[in-house]
Amino acid sequence: KNEVEQSPQNLTAQEGEFITINCSYSVGISALHWLQQHPGGGIVSLFMLSSGKKKHGRLIATINIQEKHSSLHITASHPRDSAVYICAVTWRRRSQGNLIFGKGTKLSVKP
């Protein structure tokens, strides 16, 4: 069993839909990261959070430490949101640079 599990693996949505991607983890963490990997391969860090909720534009990330669960929401989705979204955690027992990654959720938004 992976230490970081994401669901769904693949997601197809129509433009304008509200999207939720889930991440569950099994270890004690000091931080959780959401990353976006573009079709060309580049990676962008979207959020780093250790509690509560963060919002940036149409993206919202939440984390529930007790339940070891995080969600990434995209409101009013757009085709340009099509990418792989990756959840990663910093395990409390490891150095802060040692991220453990989920396998990613491939999102495709159709016009």
Partner 1 sequence: NAGVMQNPRHLVRRRGQEARLRCSPMKGHSHVYWYRQLPEEGLKFMVYLQKENIIDESGMPKERFSAEFPKEGPSILRIQQVVRGDSAAYFCASSLSGDTQYFGPGTRLTVL
Instruction: Indicate the residue among 21 and 35 with the shorter CB distance to partner 1.
Output: 35
Near partner 1 by CB under 8 A: residue from 29, 32, 74, 88? 88
Exposed/middle/buried for 89, CB within 10 Å: 0-12, 13-18, 19+?
Answer: buried
Within 8 A by CB and 6+ apart from 102, the residues are: 2, 4, 5, 6, 23, 86, 87, 88
CB 103 within 8 A of CB 9: yes
Quick note: the x/- pattern for partner 1 over 25-64, rule CB under 8 A, is --------x-x-----xxxxx--x----------------
Shortest Cβ distance from residue 2 to partner 1 (Å)? 9
Instruction: Indicate the residue among 13 and 104 with the shorter CB distance to partner 1.
Output: 104
28 alpha-carbon distance from chain centroid: 17
Shortest Cβ distance from residue 67 to partner 1 (Å)? 23
* Residues forming the site for partner 1 (CB under 8 A): 33, 35, 41-45, 48, 86, 88, 94-104
